[in-house]
Structures are given as C-alpha cells and as structure tokens.
Amino acid sequence: MSRSALVGNVIAMLEDAGFLVSDRCAVRPKSFDIAARRSKDVILVKILGNIDSFDTATGTEMRRLGFYLDATPIVIGLRTRDEQLEPGVVYFRHGVPVLSPDTAMDLFVEEVPPLIYAAPGGLYVSIDGDVLADEREEREWSLGQLANELGVSRRTVSKYESGMNASVEVAVQLEELFNAPLTDPVDVFDPGDVHEDESTPDDPEVDPDDEQLVTVLTRVGFDVHPTLRSPFKAVSEDEREKVLTGHSAFNRTAEKRAKIMSSVGHVTRTTSVYVVDKTDRESVDATALIQRDEIEEIDDSDSLRELIRERAEEKETA
C-alpha cells in the first residue's frame, strides 16, 4: 500500500469513528500529518508505512506539541524493517504509542482498546492485581501454590498482585487457571501505566529570524514555545488561550501554512495568527494575518487577542 493510500484510509477511518479531522499537513518538515478530535480526545497522528523512519527529533516534537495542545501523539504504521505490526498490540517509539491500522480501527471505530504492549523482551499485558488477589484467595490458594502453577517465584506472584505487568504467556496461564478476565486494556490516551514516559522535552532555541517576534509576544504577556517540525513556528499561550503562531514573508508557502494552521486550530480549539512583513489581506481562512509593524505596536495580550479575532471574523462574515 502506498503511503498516500494509507493516509487516506486512516483519515476515512477516523471520520467514520466520529472524529473531526484537520487538513493534511502537506508542508515540510512536519512532525504530524493530521490532528483529530472527538469529544474531549485530541490526537496528533503521524502515518507511516515503515515506523523505523520515525526518528527521535520527530518523537520529541510530537510529545512537546501534545503537551502544549492537550493532545495525544500517536503513530499509525504498517511495519518495521523486519515484520508487520501485530494487531491488538501497542508499540512505543521515542515515547509515542504506535498502532497498526487494525489496532487503530479496533480502538477508534469498534471502541475495543488493545490489551497487549510491546517492550524490550517481548509482549506484555497489565494485570489487575486486585482481581488476581481476590481470585486466588477465593480458591484459598497461597502465593506459593499459585507460583508453583505458573512456574515462577512466590515473590513474582506477589508483584503481579501489586501491579507488576506480566508476559502474554503468563497472562494466558492466569486466565485459564481462574477462568476469569484479569487484564486491563492499554490506555493509549494515557499510556503511563505501561510505559514510563519521558518528561516533556525542553523547548528548542528560537530561530534567529523570529527573535523579534518572540520578544514582542513575550512583552505583551505570552509564553512562546518554538517548534521545529510544524506548519507553525510556535505555540504561544497566556492564561486565557493558546495561539498557533507563524511568521515569514507572505507568499504561496505562507498561505498554505496559514490554511493548515486554521484547520489544525479548529480541531485543537486554538486560534492562529501569521505575522508577515507586508500584505493587504486580513486573513487566510481563520488564521489572522498581521503585519510586523502592526504587532510591534501592540502593548498587551488583550489588544492582540482582539486584533486576531477581528481579522478572523472578517473572513467568516465575508
């Protein structure tokens, strides 16, 4: 399957599952391909044929964007260099959960979450320790008796009941012994229970071309978080809202980026602004266009917020 066909299939699947899906981020470099939202769940999705091409820099950027946009970064891919991704299994690359299309279909359309995750050494599941302890005690088995049945140490059984995850083989043994479901699904939207997430990466250095803009935004009360592989240059935020922020000369590429920012902003419920040197246009879709000399005259965040709103509303009422 070509990557283009795979992207189309993933978009169709998410729309069938009731997600609002953004336009494709058809600009480079890019850390994610689409943003999607269903109810409170927002995801940033990278779609790959071979997940081995998902590198550290991209994973770092996706995790950082997930933090600032209250979204979950996810990779949907077909294979690694050596094998196809298994259905029903969550993999991890650079702190980001990775799903096969079948696993994503089960999760988003059928609402059946995966039970298995891959980690060094094999495939594992999360054991509900309280249920396991209740089942063992109901049978009046000691820790040692269950350990003998499983072929593990008494201490290992105690760890299972305390929340330690188990291999798929052990989980199958346990469920056959007790004839009861003992596993918890993997929460893709909060995978910390099975995968130790690294802390949110530090922001990258500001592009020298954007230093003056960052200075202005900081002066009026925004915290500015630069990006390296996104259609926007930064996520700017104050205590009231988050703003996708772009900056360049206004040309066809800038217009394309501004359109994508508008679409991504609609999905993530953020506003968007593109600062340009000169233009006679007010906006591109819902992305406000502001000239550099205009923004340098702004004194506070309320004034900037009002100007962005006016420009976006002019587009909506045109």
Secondary structure of 11-40 as H, E, C letters: HHHHHHCCCEECCCCCCCCCCCCEEEEECC
For residue 134, the model assigns a pLDDT of 94
Percent of the chain topping pLDDT 70:
95
Percent of the chain topping pLDDT 90:
74
Helix (H) or strand (E) holding 295: helix 292-296
For residue 317, the model assigns a pLDDT of 44
Domains in the chain, CATH or no CATH each = 3-114 (3.40.1350.70), 123-184 (1.10.260.40), 208-317 (3.40.1350)
| Whole-number Å distance between alpha carbons of 200 and 40 | 21
Residue 314: pLDDT band with limits 50, 70, 90: low
For residue 318, the model assigns a pLDDT of 43
> What does pLDDT average to over the chain?
91
In the structure encoding, which two tokens stand for residue 278, read together?
Answer: 């000169």
